[in-house]
Amino acid sequence: MGKFGVTEILMILAVVLLLFGGKKIPELMKGLGSGIKEFKNAAKGDEPADSKKEETKE
């Protein structure tokens, strides 16, 4: 498989827009961003701030 060009990227974006609609895309991007953040924290071995707070309470 070769590199993605501008045309391929535009085609993919058009299909995503048709499948999910304009209202759902911000929700999808928010979920994707939080998933990436959690993955980076897990890769570093850091725990989320929420779980650290819970451990100190116990």
Helix (H) or strand (E) holding 58: none
Q: pLDDT at residue 53 above 60? A: no
Is 55 in contact with 45 (CB distance < 8 Å)?
no
- The answer to whether position 15 is within a domain reads no
Q: pLDDT at residue 51 above 70? A: no
Taking the C-alpha atoms of residue 19 and residue 56, their distance in angstroms, rounded to an integer, is 44
7-14 contact pairs (CB < 8 A, 24+): none
The boundaries of the domain holding residue 44 are 23-58
Q: What is the pLDDT of residues 1-50, one digit of tens each?
A: 678 899 999 999 889 888 888 888 888 889 989 999 999 998 888 765 66
Give the predicted TM-score (pTM) of the model: 0.47
Domain count, the chain: 1
- The answer to whether position 8 is within a domain reads no
- The answer to whether position 54 is within a domain reads yes
Chain centroid, CA 32 distance in Å: 1
Is 47 in contact with 41 (CB distance < 8 Å)?
yes
